[in-house]
Chains A and B, each alone.
Chain A
Protein backbone atom coordinates (compact mmCIF):
# COMPACT_ATOMS: atom_id res chain seq x y z
CA UNK A 1 0.00 0.00 0.00
CA UNK A 2 1.65 3.20 -1.16
CA UNK A 3 -0.46 5.66 0.77
CA UNK A 4 -1.77 4.82 4.22
CA UNK A 5 -4.04 7.65 5.39
CA UNK A 6 -4.77 5.81 8.67
CA UNK A 7 -1.56 6.85 10.36
CA UNK A 8 -0.73 10.55 10.83
CA UNK A 9 2.69 12.13 10.46
CA UNK A 10 3.06 11.80 14.26
CA UNK A 11 2.66 8.02 13.93
CA UNK A 12 -0.76 8.02 15.60
CA UNK A 13 -3.89 6.32 14.31
CA UNK A 14 -6.19 8.96 12.78
CA UNK A 15 -8.67 6.75 10.95
CA UNK A 16 -9.47 3.04 11.07
CA UNK A 17 -9.90 1.91 7.47
CA UNK A 18 -8.26 -1.49 7.29
CA UNK A 19 -6.30 -3.89 9.51
CA UNK A 20 -3.75 -4.39 6.74
CA UNK A 21 -0.51 -2.62 7.58
CA UNK A 22 -1.34 -1.84 11.19
CA UNK A 23 1.38 -2.86 13.67
CA UNK A 24 0.65 -5.37 16.43
CA UNK A 25 0.97 -2.65 19.13
CA UNK A 26 -1.95 -0.72 17.65
CA UNK A 27 -4.15 -3.83 17.63
CA UNK A 28 -3.17 -4.68 21.22
CA UNK A 29 -3.82 -1.08 22.34
CA UNK A 30 -7.39 -1.42 21.05
CA UNK A 31 -7.90 -4.84 22.66
CA UNK A 32 -6.48 -3.71 26.03
CA UNK A 33 -8.55 -0.52 26.04
CA UNK A 34 -11.69 -2.48 25.12
CA UNK A 35 -11.10 -4.74 28.11
CA UNK A 36 -11.17 -1.69 30.38
CA UNK A 37 -14.38 -0.48 28.76
CA UNK A 38 -16.07 -3.80 29.66
CA UNK A 39 -16.25 -2.60 33.28
CA UNK A 40 -18.37 0.42 32.29
CA UNK A 41 -21.27 -2.05 31.96
CA UNK A 42 -21.02 -2.65 35.72
CA UNK A 43 -21.73 1.03 36.44
CA UNK A 44 -25.17 2.29 37.42
CA UNK A 45 -24.64 5.05 34.83
CA UNK A 46 -23.24 3.11 31.87
CA UNK A 47 -21.40 6.08 30.42
CA UNK A 48 -17.99 7.73 30.54
CA UNK A 49 -17.52 11.41 29.63
CA UNK A 50 -14.64 11.02 27.12
CA UNK A 51 -16.44 12.18 23.96
CA UNK A 52 -18.78 14.78 25.48
CA UNK A 53 -19.62 17.41 22.91
CA UNK A 54 -18.38 15.34 19.95
CA UNK A 55 -20.74 14.71 17.04
CA UNK A 56 -20.54 11.27 15.46
CA UNK A 57 -22.33 10.54 12.20
CA UNK A 58 -23.36 7.02 11.30
CA UNK A 59 -23.26 6.95 7.50
CA UNK A 60 -24.70 3.62 6.43
CA UNK A 61 -25.13 3.36 2.68
CA UNK A 62 -25.78 -0.36 3.07
CA UNK A 63 -28.26 -1.92 5.49
CA UNK A 64 -26.99 -3.09 8.87
CA UNK A 65 -28.62 -3.64 12.21
CA UNK A 66 -25.97 -5.08 14.49
CA UNK A 67 -23.00 -2.98 13.40
CA UNK A 68 -24.91 0.31 13.25
CA UNK A 69 -26.60 -0.32 16.60
CA UNK A 70 -23.43 -1.32 18.43
CA UNK A 71 -21.61 1.74 17.03
CA UNK A 72 -24.50 3.89 18.22
CA UNK A 73 -24.51 2.34 21.70
CA UNK A 74 -20.72 2.63 21.90
CA UNK A 75 -20.82 6.33 20.94
CA UNK A 76 -23.56 7.02 23.48
CA UNK A 77 -21.64 5.23 26.24
CA UNK A 78 -18.78 7.61 25.45
CA UNK A 79 -21.25 10.53 25.85
CA UNK A 80 -21.00 11.58 22.19
CA UNK A 81 -23.95 12.93 20.21
CA UNK A 82 -24.91 10.44 17.54
CA UNK A 83 -26.67 11.20 14.30
CA UNK A 84 -27.93 8.27 12.23
CA UNK A 85 -28.36 9.00 8.54
CA UNK A 86 -30.92 7.06 6.66
CA UNK A 87 -29.20 7.16 3.32
CA UNK A 88 -31.97 5.48 1.37
CA UNK A 89 -34.13 8.59 1.92
CA UNK A 90 -31.30 11.12 1.74
CA UNK A 91 -29.81 13.48 -0.84
CA UNK A 92 -27.76 10.63 -2.33
CA UNK A 93 -30.88 9.36 -4.01
CA UNK A 94 -31.29 12.88 -5.39
CA UNK A 95 -27.87 12.70 -7.03
CA UNK A 96 -25.55 14.27 -4.46
CA UNK A 97 -22.04 12.79 -4.54
CA UNK A 98 -20.54 11.00 -1.55
CA UNK A 99 -17.99 13.77 -0.99
CA UNK A 100 -20.64 16.49 -1.17
CA UNK A 101 -22.69 14.65 1.44
CA UNK A 102 -19.62 14.47 3.68
CA UNK A 103 -18.74 18.14 3.07
CA UNK A 104 -22.24 19.18 4.14
CA UNK A 105 -22.09 17.08 7.29
CA UNK A 106 -18.66 18.54 8.07
CA UNK A 107 -20.25 21.99 7.83
CA UNK A 108 -22.58 20.76 10.59
CA UNK A 109 -19.45 20.23 12.76
CA UNK A 110 -19.08 16.47 12.53
CA UNK A 111 -16.12 15.08 14.47
CA UNK A 112 -16.28 11.49 13.27
CA UNK A 113 -17.81 9.48 10.46
CA UNK A 114 -18.70 5.79 10.71
CA UNK A 115 -19.03 4.64 7.12
CA UNK A 116 -20.53 1.54 5.57
CA UNK A 117 -20.67 1.35 1.81
CA UNK A 118 -21.08 -1.32 -0.85
CA UNK A 119 -18.11 0.15 -2.78
CA UNK A 120 -14.63 -0.91 -1.69
CA UNK A 121 -12.58 2.16 -0.81
CA UNK A 122 -15.49 4.46 0.14
CA UNK A 123 -14.15 5.10 3.66
CA UNK A 124 -10.64 5.68 2.25
CA UNK A 125 -12.03 8.27 -0.13
CA UNK A 126 -13.76 10.14 2.70
CA UNK A 127 -10.68 9.93 4.95
CA UNK A 128 -8.55 11.51 2.21
CA UNK A 129 -10.90 14.49 1.94
CA UNK A 130 -11.90 15.34 5.50
CA UNK A 131 -10.09 18.11 7.36
CA UNK A 132 -7.64 17.56 10.19
CA UNK A 133 -9.30 16.59 13.46
CA UNK A 134 -12.05 14.63 11.74
CA UNK A 135 -11.84 10.86 12.04
CA UNK A 136 -13.24 8.12 9.82
CA UNK A 137 -14.04 4.54 10.79
CA UNK A 138 -14.70 1.96 8.10
CA UNK A 139 -17.73 -0.11 9.15
CA UNK A 140 -17.47 -2.30 6.07
CA UNK A 141 -16.66 -1.39 2.45
CA UNK A 142 -17.61 -3.75 -0.35
CA UNK A 143 -15.50 -6.89 -0.27
CA UNK A 144 -12.51 -4.99 1.09
CA UNK A 145 -12.42 -4.59 4.87
CA UNK A 146 -14.41 -4.58 8.11
CA UNK A 147 -11.75 -3.74 10.68
CA UNK A 148 -13.90 -3.33 13.81
CA UNK A 149 -15.49 -6.75 13.21
CA UNK A 150 -12.02 -8.28 12.98
CA UNK A 151 -10.97 -6.50 16.17
CA UNK A 152 -14.01 -7.67 18.12
CA UNK A 153 -13.37 -11.20 16.89
CA UNK A 154 -9.76 -10.92 18.12
CA UNK A 155 -11.11 -9.67 21.46
CA UNK A 156 -13.43 -12.70 21.61
CA UNK A 157 -10.59 -15.11 20.81
CA UNK A 158 -8.32 -13.54 23.42
CA UNK A 159 -11.16 -13.61 25.98
CA UNK A 160 -11.77 -17.35 25.57
CA UNK A 161 -8.29 -18.58 24.60
CA UNK A 162 -6.07 -16.25 26.62
CA UNK A 163 -3.79 -15.32 23.71
CA UNK A 164 -2.89 -15.96 20.09
CA UNK A 165 0.49 -17.67 20.01
CA UNK A 166 -0.57 -21.33 20.08
CA UNK A 167 -3.82 -21.30 18.16
CA UNK A 168 -5.16 -23.01 15.09
CA UNK A 169 -7.96 -20.91 13.61
CA UNK A 170 -10.26 -21.93 10.74
CA UNK A 171 -12.34 -19.47 8.69
CA UNK A 172 -15.09 -21.30 6.85
CA UNK A 173 -17.40 -20.57 3.92
CA UNK A 174 -17.74 -17.70 1.51
CA UNK A 175 -14.28 -16.16 1.77
CA UNK A 176 -14.49 -14.58 -1.69
CA UNK A 177 -17.21 -12.05 -0.86
CA UNK A 178 -16.17 -11.55 2.76
CA UNK A 179 -14.58 -8.31 3.94
CA UNK A 180 -14.73 -9.85 7.42
CA UNK A 181 -12.52 -12.76 6.36
CA UNK A 182 -9.93 -10.45 4.78
CA UNK A 183 -9.69 -8.25 7.87
CA UNK A 184 -9.57 -11.30 10.13
CA UNK A 185 -6.73 -12.92 8.21
CA UNK A 186 -4.64 -9.73 8.55
CA UNK A 187 -5.46 -9.43 12.26
CA UNK A 188 -4.74 -13.08 13.06
CA UNK A 189 -1.39 -13.12 11.27
CA UNK A 190 -0.34 -9.74 12.76
CA UNK A 191 -1.18 -10.97 16.27
CA UNK A 192 0.98 -14.05 15.78
CA UNK A 193 -1.52 -16.89 15.26
CA UNK A 194 0.73 -19.63 13.86
CA UNK A 195 -1.89 -21.46 11.81
CA UNK A 196 -4.78 -19.83 9.95
CA UNK A 197 -6.85 -22.08 7.71
CA UNK A 198 -9.47 -21.09 5.18
CA UNK A 199 -12.06 -23.69 4.22
CA UNK A 200 -14.43 -23.37 1.28
CA UNK A 201 -15.26 -24.42 -2.27
CA UNK A 202 -12.86 -23.26 -4.99
CA UNK A 203 -15.52 -20.93 -6.38
CA UNK A 204 -15.82 -19.03 -3.07
CA UNK A 205 -12.10 -18.59 -2.36
CA UNK A 206 -10.18 -15.59 -3.71
CA UNK A 207 -7.44 -16.44 -6.17
CA UNK A 208 -4.01 -16.73 -4.50
CA UNK A 209 -5.53 -16.48 -1.04
CA UNK A 210 -2.58 -18.53 0.30
CA UNK A 211 -0.36 -15.48 -0.32
CA UNK A 212 -2.02 -13.93 2.75
CA UNK A 213 -0.31 -16.60 4.86
CA UNK A 214 -3.17 -19.07 5.20
CA UNK A 215 -3.58 -22.78 4.45
CA UNK A 216 -6.35 -23.72 2.05
CA UNK A 217 -8.74 -26.65 2.56
CA UNK A 218 -11.65 -27.72 0.41
CA UNK A 219 -12.69 -30.65 2.62
CA UNK A 220 -14.23 -29.19 5.77
CA UNK A 221 -13.83 -32.36 7.85
CA UNK A 222 -10.07 -32.33 7.23
CA UNK A 223 -9.76 -28.55 7.67
CA UNK A 224 -11.44 -28.58 11.08
CA UNK A 225 -9.13 -31.24 12.48
CA UNK A 226 -7.81 -30.05 15.90
CA UNK A 227 -8.64 -26.37 15.46
CA UNK A 228 -9.18 -24.13 18.52
CA UNK A 229 -11.37 -21.50 16.87
CA UNK A 230 -13.95 -21.82 14.07
CA UNK A 231 -15.13 -18.63 12.38
CA UNK A 232 -18.18 -19.27 10.21
CA UNK A 233 -19.03 -16.72 7.53
CA UNK A 234 -22.39 -15.77 6.13
CA UNK A 235 -23.14 -17.02 2.64
CA UNK A 236 -23.51 -13.67 0.87
CA UNK A 237 -26.10 -14.49 -1.73
CA UNK A 238 -26.76 -10.79 -2.44
CA UNK A 239 -23.18 -10.30 -3.63
CA UNK A 240 -23.17 -13.31 -5.93
CA UNK A 241 -23.36 -12.96 -9.65
CA UNK A 242 -23.40 -16.07 -11.82
CA UNK A 243 -23.55 -19.65 -10.68
CA UNK A 244 -20.86 -19.95 -8.01
CA UNK A 245 -22.92 -22.49 -6.09
CA UNK A 246 -25.15 -25.42 -7.01
CA UNK A 247 -27.67 -24.67 -4.22
CA UNK A 248 -27.89 -23.60 -0.58
CA UNK A 249 -28.74 -27.20 0.35
CA UNK A 250 -25.63 -28.52 -1.39
CA UNK A 251 -23.56 -25.85 0.34
CA UNK A 252 -24.87 -26.89 3.76
CA UNK A 253 -24.02 -30.53 3.07
CA UNK A 254 -20.38 -29.68 2.30
CA UNK A 255 -19.68 -26.51 4.32
CA UNK A 256 -22.46 -26.14 6.89
CA UNK A 257 -21.22 -26.51 10.47
CA UNK A 258 -23.05 -29.46 12.02
CA UNK A 259 -22.37 -31.13 15.40
CA UNK A 260 -20.67 -34.00 13.49
CA UNK A 261 -18.23 -31.66 11.72
CA UNK A 262 -17.66 -29.66 14.91
CA UNK A 263 -16.56 -32.89 16.62
CA UNK A 264 -13.43 -32.88 14.39
CA UNK A 265 -12.21 -29.71 16.13
CA UNK A 266 -10.72 -29.65 19.60
CA UNK A 267 -13.21 -30.40 22.38
CA UNK A 268 -12.81 -26.87 23.75
CA UNK A 269 -13.03 -25.14 20.36
CA UNK A 270 -15.20 -22.03 20.15
CA UNK A 271 -17.60 -21.27 17.30
CA UNK A 272 -17.93 -17.69 16.06
CA UNK A 273 -20.09 -16.00 13.43
CA UNK A 274 -20.16 -12.28 12.55
CA UNK A 275 -23.89 -12.40 11.85
CA UNK A 276 -26.45 -12.32 10.47
CA UNK A 277 -26.64 -16.11 10.50
CA UNK A 278 -28.30 -18.21 7.84
CA UNK A 279 -29.44 -21.17 9.94
CA UNK A 280 -29.45 -24.36 7.91
CA UNK A 281 -27.18 -22.87 5.22
CA UNK A 282 -23.80 -22.26 6.82
CA UNK A 283 -24.58 -23.29 10.40
CA UNK A 284 -26.84 -25.84 12.06
CA UNK A 285 -29.05 -24.52 14.87
CA UNK A 286 -27.71 -27.20 17.21
CA UNK A 287 -24.26 -25.61 16.83
CA UNK A 288 -25.38 -21.96 16.74
CA UNK A 289 -27.22 -22.43 20.04
CA UNK A 290 -24.80 -25.02 21.44
CA UNK A 291 -22.38 -24.75 24.35
CA UNK A 292 -19.35 -24.00 22.12
CA UNK A 293 -21.05 -21.05 20.43
CA UNK A 294 -19.82 -17.58 21.47
CA UNK A 295 -21.84 -15.75 18.84
CA UNK A 296 -23.86 -13.60 21.25
CA UNK A 297 -20.87 -12.67 23.45
CA UNK A 298 -19.23 -11.42 20.20
CA UNK A 299 -22.02 -8.86 19.91
CA UNK A 300 -21.54 -7.68 23.50
CA UNK A 301 -17.76 -7.43 23.08
CA UNK A 302 -18.37 -5.42 19.90
CA UNK A 303 -19.64 -2.48 21.95
CA UNK A 304 -16.50 -2.29 24.11
CA UNK A 305 -14.22 -2.71 21.09
CA UNK A 306 -15.99 0.09 19.20
CA UNK A 307 -15.77 2.33 22.29
CA UNK A 308 -12.02 1.66 22.32
CA UNK A 309 -11.55 2.46 18.62
CA UNK A 310 -13.59 5.68 18.82
CA UNK A 311 -11.89 6.96 21.96
CA UNK A 312 -8.40 6.19 20.69
CA UNK A 313 -9.06 7.91 17.34
CA UNK A 314 -10.77 10.96 18.82
CA UNK A 315 -7.86 11.46 21.24
CA UNK A 316 -5.22 11.32 18.46
Chain B
Protein backbone atom coordinates (compact mmCIF):
# COMPACT_ATOMS: atom_id res chain seq x y z
CA UNK B 1 0.00 0.00 0.00
CA UNK B 2 1.02 3.65 -0.36
CA UNK B 3 1.15 5.18 3.10
CA UNK B 4 -0.71 8.44 3.76
CA UNK B 5 1.09 11.75 4.26
CA UNK B 6 2.15 11.84 7.92
CA UNK B 7 2.28 15.64 8.11
CA UNK B 8 -1.31 15.92 6.88
CA UNK B 9 -2.46 13.27 9.37
CA UNK B 10 -0.70 15.11 12.19
CA UNK B 11 -2.58 18.30 11.32
CA UNK B 12 -5.88 16.38 11.35
CA UNK B 13 -5.02 14.74 14.65
CA UNK B 14 -4.13 18.12 16.19
CA UNK B 15 -7.53 19.55 15.14
CA UNK B 16 -9.38 16.71 16.90
CA UNK B 17 -7.34 17.06 20.10
CA UNK B 18 -7.58 20.86 20.14
CA UNK B 19 -11.36 20.73 20.75
CA UNK B 20 -10.83 18.93 24.08
CA UNK B 21 -7.75 20.80 25.28
CA UNK B 22 -7.67 22.43 28.68
CA UNK B 23 -4.87 24.66 29.98
CA UNK B 24 -3.67 21.88 32.27
CA UNK B 25 -3.76 19.02 29.71
CA UNK B 26 -0.55 16.97 29.74
CA UNK B 27 0.93 15.15 26.73
CA UNK B 28 2.96 11.96 26.97
CA UNK B 29 4.67 10.42 23.93
CA UNK B 30 5.70 6.78 23.52
CA UNK B 31 9.18 6.17 22.05
CA UNK B 32 10.16 6.63 19.32
CA UNK B 33 7.51 7.87 16.88
CA UNK B 34 5.07 8.89 19.59
CA UNK B 35 7.67 11.17 21.15
CA UNK B 36 8.23 12.98 17.83
CA UNK B 37 4.48 13.49 17.49
CA UNK B 38 4.10 14.58 21.11
CA UNK B 39 6.88 17.15 20.67
CA UNK B 40 5.12 18.64 17.64
CA UNK B 41 1.70 18.67 19.35
CA UNK B 42 3.12 20.15 22.56
CA UNK B 43 4.72 22.94 20.55
CA UNK B 44 1.58 23.57 18.44
CA UNK B 45 -0.64 23.84 21.51
CA UNK B 46 1.85 25.83 23.60
CA UNK B 47 1.00 23.76 26.66
CA UNK B 48 2.22 24.89 30.09
CA UNK B 49 2.69 21.36 31.44
CA UNK B 50 6.06 19.95 30.34
CA UNK B 51 5.85 16.98 27.98
CA UNK B 52 6.37 13.42 29.20
CA UNK B 53 8.13 10.56 27.41
CA UNK B 54 7.78 6.82 27.96
CA UNK B 55 9.81 3.84 26.82
CA UNK B 56 7.62 0.84 27.61
CA UNK B 57 10.49 -1.71 27.49
CA UNK B 58 10.29 -2.43 31.24
CA UNK B 59 6.51 -3.02 31.07
CA UNK B 60 6.21 -5.11 27.91
CA UNK B 61 4.42 -8.46 28.07
CA UNK B 62 6.78 -10.21 25.63
CA UNK B 63 9.93 -9.82 27.78
CA UNK B 64 9.98 -13.53 28.58
CA UNK B 65 9.98 -14.35 24.88
CA UNK B 66 12.26 -11.68 23.50
CA UNK B 67 14.35 -10.43 26.45
CA UNK B 68 15.43 -6.85 26.89
CA UNK B 69 16.31 -5.05 23.67
CA UNK B 70 19.21 -2.62 23.39
CA UNK B 71 18.70 1.13 23.29
CA UNK B 72 16.03 1.47 25.98
CA UNK B 73 15.43 5.18 26.68
CA UNK B 74 14.84 6.60 30.16
CA UNK B 75 11.17 7.43 30.73
CA UNK B 76 10.57 10.97 31.94
CA UNK B 77 7.29 12.20 33.41
CA UNK B 78 8.19 15.71 34.61
CA UNK B 79 4.74 16.60 36.02
CA UNK B 80 2.64 15.20 38.89
CA UNK B 81 0.55 12.37 37.44
CA UNK B 82 -1.87 12.38 40.38
CA UNK B 83 -5.16 13.84 39.07
CA UNK B 84 -3.64 14.84 35.71
CA UNK B 85 -5.54 14.80 32.41
CA UNK B 86 -3.20 12.99 30.06
CA UNK B 87 -3.20 12.52 26.32
CA UNK B 88 -1.06 9.52 25.40
CA UNK B 89 0.43 9.71 21.90
CA UNK B 90 1.69 6.89 19.69
CA UNK B 91 2.42 6.64 15.99
CA UNK B 92 0.88 3.30 14.96
CA UNK B 93 -1.91 1.64 16.93
CA UNK B 94 -2.01 -2.12 16.32
CA UNK B 95 -2.47 -4.87 18.95
CA UNK B 96 -2.88 -2.41 21.85
CA UNK B 97 -0.17 -4.10 23.90
CA UNK B 98 2.17 -1.09 23.87
CA UNK B 99 -0.69 1.10 25.14
CA UNK B 100 -1.44 -1.38 27.92
CA UNK B 101 2.24 -1.28 28.95
CA UNK B 102 2.34 2.53 28.80
CA UNK B 103 -0.80 2.86 30.96
CA UNK B 104 0.65 0.50 33.56
CA UNK B 105 3.82 2.58 33.67
CA UNK B 106 1.87 5.84 34.03
CA UNK B 107 -0.05 4.39 36.97
CA UNK B 108 3.24 3.66 38.74
CA UNK B 109 3.75 7.45 38.78
CA UNK B 110 0.29 8.20 40.23
CA UNK B 111 -3.45 8.05 39.56
CA UNK B 112 -4.37 10.28 36.64
CA UNK B 113 -7.88 11.75 36.36
CA UNK B 114 -8.04 10.51 32.77
CA UNK B 115 -5.94 9.13 29.93
CA UNK B 116 -7.01 9.61 26.32
CA UNK B 117 -5.26 8.00 23.40
CA UNK B 118 -4.12 9.69 20.19
CA UNK B 119 -2.67 7.63 17.35
CA UNK B 120 -1.42 8.91 14.00
CA UNK B 121 -2.66 5.75 12.26
CA UNK B 122 -4.84 2.87 13.39
CA UNK B 123 -4.06 -0.34 11.50
CA UNK B 124 -6.65 -2.46 13.35
CA UNK B 125 -5.75 -5.94 14.66
CA UNK B 126 -6.43 -5.17 18.30
CA UNK B 127 -5.79 -7.97 20.82
CA UNK B 128 -6.83 -5.95 23.86
CA UNK B 129 -9.86 -3.72 24.59
CA UNK B 130 -8.05 -0.47 23.70
CA UNK B 131 -9.86 2.25 21.78
CA UNK B 132 -8.32 5.56 20.69
CA UNK B 133 -10.15 8.88 21.07
CA UNK B 134 -8.15 10.63 18.33
CA UNK B 135 -6.97 9.00 15.10
CA UNK B 136 -5.24 10.59 12.08
CA UNK B 137 -6.39 7.80 9.73
CA UNK B 138 -7.42 4.18 9.67
CA UNK B 139 -5.22 2.18 7.31
CA UNK B 140 -5.41 -1.27 5.76
CA UNK B 141 -2.09 -3.07 6.12
CA UNK B 142 -1.35 -6.71 5.33
CA UNK B 143 -0.43 -8.94 8.30
CA UNK B 144 3.16 -9.30 7.12
CA UNK B 145 3.58 -5.58 6.48
CA UNK B 146 5.13 -3.16 8.92
CA UNK B 147 4.07 0.49 8.96
CA UNK B 148 6.33 2.86 10.82
CA UNK B 149 6.92 6.54 11.32
CA UNK B 150 10.26 8.00 10.36
CA UNK B 151 11.72 11.47 10.68
CA UNK B 152 14.00 12.90 8.02
CA UNK B 153 16.90 15.32 8.56
CA UNK B 154 14.67 18.39 8.21
CA UNK B 155 12.39 17.04 10.95
CA UNK B 156 9.57 16.13 8.52
CA UNK B 157 7.57 13.05 9.50
CA UNK B 158 7.06 10.27 6.94
CA UNK B 159 5.17 6.96 7.12
CA UNK B 160 6.87 3.96 5.54
CA UNK B 161 5.51 0.51 4.78
CA UNK B 162 7.87 -2.46 4.57
CA UNK B 163 7.37 -6.21 4.38
CA UNK B 164 8.58 -8.14 7.41
CA UNK B 165 12.08 -9.42 6.83
CA UNK B 166 12.92 -6.71 4.31
When distances are taken between beta carbons in the complex, the residues of chain B under 8 Å from A33 are: 68, 70, 72
Count B-side interface residues using an 8 Å CB cutoff: 25
CB-nearest residue of chain A relative to B78?
Answer: A42
Cβ contacts A to B, 20 pairs, < 8 Å: A32-B72, A33-B72, A36-B55, A36-B58, A36-B72, A37-B58, A39-B75, A40-B58, A42-B77, A42-B109, A43-B109, A44-B109, A45-B107, A45-B109, A47-B108, A48-B58, A48-B105, A50-B63, A315-B63, A316-B67
When distances are taken between beta carbons in the complex, the residues of chain A under 8 Å from B110 are: 44
Contacts A47-B108, A49-B58 supplied; 20 other A-B pairs, CB < 8 Å = A12-B67, A32-B72, A36-B57, A36-B58, A36-B74, A37-B58, A39-B75, A39-B76, A40-B58, A44-B81, A44-B82, A44-B110, A45-B107, A45-B109, A48-B58, A48-B59, A50-B68, A311-B68, A315-B63, A315-B66
When distances are taken between beta carbons in the complex, the residues of chain A under 8 Å from B140 are: none
CB-nearest residue of chain A relative to B65?
Answer: A315
Query: In whole Å, how far is B106's beta carbon from the nearest beta carbon of chain A?
Result: 10
When distances are taken between beta carbons in the complex, the residues of chain B under 8 Å from A43 are: 108-109
When distances are taken between beta carbons in the complex, the residues of chain B under 8 Å from A42 are: 76-77, 109
Enumerate chain A interface residues (CB-CB to B < 8 A).
Answer: 12, 29, 32-33, 35-40, 42-45, 47-50, 311-312, 315-316
Enumerate chain B interface residues (CB-CB to A < 8 A).
Answer: 55, 57-59, 63-64, 66-68, 70-77, 81-82, 104-105, 107-110
Whether A45 lies near B108 (C-beta < 8 A) is yes
Chain A contact surface mostly = helix
When distances are taken between beta carbons in the complex, the residues of chain A under 8 Å from B107 are: 45
Question: In the bound complex, what is the Cα–Cα distance between A37 and B107 (angstroms)?
Answer: 17
Question: In the bound complex, what is the Cα–Cα distance between A90 and B22 (angstroms)?
Answer: 62
Given A43-B109, A49-B59, A50-B58, are A36 and B73 neighbors across the interface (CB < 8 Å)? yes
Whether A38 lies near B74 (C-beta < 8 A) is yes
Whether B59 lies near A39 (C-beta < 8 A) is no
Whether B67 lies near A315 (C-beta < 8 A) is yes
Query: In whole Å, how far is A37's beta carbon from the nearest beta carbon of chain B?
Result: 8
When distances are taken between beta carbons in the complex, the residues of chain B under 8 Å from A39 are: 74-76
Whether B68 lies near A312 (C-beta < 8 A) is yes
Query: In whole Å, how far is A305's beta carbon from the nearest beta carbon of chain B?
Result: 14
CB-nearest residue of chain A relative to B82?
Answer: A44
Query: In whole Å, how far is A306's beta carbon from the nearest beta carbon of chain B?
Result: 14
Question: In the bound complex, what is the Cα–Cα distance between A42 and B64 (angstroms)?
Answer: 25
Whether B68 lies near A315 (C-beta < 8 A) is yes
